[in-house]
A and B are shown apart, each in its own frame.
Chain A
Amino acid sequence: MTMVLTATPPRHRRFANVTPTGAIMIGVWVLVLAGILYAFYDSIDSERLTTYGGRILTGFGVTLKLVVVSLFFGAILSLPIAAGRLSKHRLIAGLTFGYTYFFRGTPLIAQIFLIYYGAGQFAPQLKAVGLWLFFRDAFNCAVLSFALNTAAYQAEILAGAIRTVPMGQREAARALGLHAFNELRKVVLPQAFISALRPYGNEVILITKASSIASIITVLDLMGQTRFVFSKTYDLSFYFWAAAFYLVSVEIFSRFVNALERRITRHLHMRQAPH
């Protein structure tokens, strides 16, 4: 860093550092955006949107349902798995490690195929136990594989967050005479939640994006409907509509996580000097 003494203080103009390179880069983005907006305008004009727009909206609804249901069941399933990951019992710890390693180490699309097509192979047996009605539906198979997958990731997030709570906190809780359940509820989990929030938020976003894979096993979610409409119209603007839906949902959610993080960590900022 070089210091230059000047008679006048440096002026802080907003665009003082703008270079031709930057202007060209932003120009390219403006052109791309204009192209996409034109594609939108074109699809509105040609009445393709009035014919197929409803499908895209229905698909978006299916995507939301897929994501919410999978995350809900995944969260429930992740609790015993996280407990197993933290367990000192070698067999339990080994089994839950194997579970998370399998679901985190293989592609989600292969897991979906394994469950959806694999279930088809065992149709007679599944019929015998009355589970065939569940596995027959592609949506259910997608939910099942997403839930199993996200349970593995959520268990790792939860176990990792609990490990970051210092041992002294637990010892202090015990010294105060708290029972194991209260120790967990009042001391460990509130602190673990702070370090788990951001990874949890990322996991929700990852599952939202990954839910598009369900379209490959014929679920008509946002991606599935978009592929269907594209196969009818060869109009690429529908992919841009789908991208806009994903982008806006992900952006809204990540802003929500940021706001939540500021709120739950406000006690950590209080000690800093006010400015």
Chain B
Amino acid sequence: MPNLIALLAWGPNGWGDELAMGAFVTIALSIATLPGGLVAGFFIALAKQSRDPLIRLSAQIYTTLFRSMPDLLTLFVVYYGAQSLFSAFTNATFGVGLNFSPFVAGMIALGVVLASYVSEVFLSALRAIPHGQYEAAHAMGLHRWQTLRLIILPQLIRLALPGLSNLWLGLMKDTALVSAITLNDLLRETQIAVSSTKQPFFFYFVACMIYLAFSLISSVGIHRADAWAARGAHR
């Protein structure tokens, strides 16, 4: 039985620094995916409330499509399909066939899936805000933009935050799928460590514990965000 703890040492003899690099990539990918997914999801939610039936239908097709496809499949379609389209496009316009990295492919694939879930969260939050709030804002003489910023958004954040928190926790776990397209995230660094040390059980367990630590740390942040968003709601 080799000394398992020594395998986690920093430097050339241990895998501590490799795992830390992988963990960094996992976090970076999650954080890089989040803003695009949130913004796109918000606009898709607005599109679902549009007066135009064709805009509503388009948004509905988007959500149905990306919520029923496995994330792994979306990832492969983006990595192989969108990749060749992008390469052909850059070849035609700039004369150089450019490729995007696994990181960018992961960001796009996770982002479009995230947006479809985010839109559902925002949609139900928008529906939970009573119509009287809009009428009251109107009666007070607020403009559309002012109504959105001062009346709707603060309530929307409070109502959507629990749903969005769950999506964030899910996103961090879903980033593990990008190891399948050879991005050196936490799971892939673990695979590399396993293939060299022949200690799969120990290393995958350590990887699981690192993911668990991430969600534990996130929970603390989420708890604070919840308290901040609800600051006006409890008297």
Residues from 68 to 125 in B contacting A, C-beta threshold 8 Å: 68-73, 76-77, 80-81, 84
Contact of B212 with A102 in the complex, beta carbons under 8 Å: yes
Interface residues as binary, B176-218 with A (CB distance below 8 Å gives 1, 0 otherwise) = 1101100000010011001000111100110110011001100
Chain B facing A: main interface SS: helix
B58 touches A108 (CB 8 A): no
* Interface segment, one of A14-22, A154-162, A177-185, A188-196: A14-22
A29-B58, A122-B201, A216-B180 in contact; A247/B52 too (CB < 8 A)?
no
B211 and A107 within 8 A (CB)? yes
A105-B215, A109-B177, A118-B201 known; A236+B77 contact, CB < 8 A: yes
A137 contacts partner chain B, Cβ-Cβ < 8 Å:
no
Contact of B198 among A21, A121, A243 (CB under 8 A): A121
Inter-chain contact A113/B68, CB cutoff 8 Å: no
Interface residues of A in 22-52 (CB under 8 A from B): 22-23, 25-26, 28-29
The dominant DSSP class at the A interface is: helix
Closest to B179 in A: A109
Q: A17-B52, A122-B201 are in contact. Are A243 and B207 (CB under 8 A)?
A: no
Q: With A105-B211, A109-B179, A251-B68 given, is the CB distance from A212 to B73 under 8 Å?
A: yes
Do B211 and A110 touch (CB < 8 A)?
yes
Closest to B199 in A: A121
Closest A residue to B135 using CB positions: A1
Contacts of A105 in B (CB 8 A): 169, 173, 211-212, 215-216
Instruction: Answer yes or no: A76 CB below 8 A from chain B CBs.
Output: no
Contacts of B31 in A (CB 8 A): none
Q: Which of A1, A22, A230 contacts B55 (CB 8 A)?
A: A22
A243 adjacent to B187 (CB under 8 Å): no
Pair A1/B138 contact, Cβ less than 8 Å: yes
Cβ of B84: which chain A residues have Cβ within 8 Å of it? 236
A117 CB within 8 Å of chain B: yes
B51 contacts partner chain A, Cβ-Cβ < 8 Å: yes
Residue of B54, B134, B200, B216 with most chain A CB atoms under a 10 A cut-off: B54
Min CB–CB distance A15 → chain B (angstroms): 7
In the complex, are the beta carbons of B70 and A25 less than 8 A apart? no
Tell whether A209 is near chain B: CB-to-CB under 8 Å. Answer: yes
19 A-B pairs within 8 Å (CB atoms) are namely A1-B134, A1-B135, A17-B53, A18-B54, A23-B54, A102-B208, A105-B216, A108-B173, A111-B208, A113-B187, A113-B200, A117-B194, A121-B198, A122-B201, A209-B68, A209-B70, A236-B81, A239-B76, A251-B68
Task: Please give the residue numbers on chain B whose beta carbons come within 8 Å of chain A beta carbons, in ascending order.
Answer: 47, 50-55, 57-58, 61, 64-65, 67-73, 76-77, 80-81, 84, 134-135, 138, 169, 173-174, 176-177, 179-180, 187, 190-191, 194, 198-201, 204-205, 207-208, 211-212, 215-216
Q: 11 other contacts beyond A1-B135, A19-B52, A105-B212, with CB at 8 A cut-off? A: A15-B53, A18-B54, A105-B216, A108-B173, A113-B200, A114-B200, A117-B204, A209-B68, A239-B77, A243-B73, A247-B65
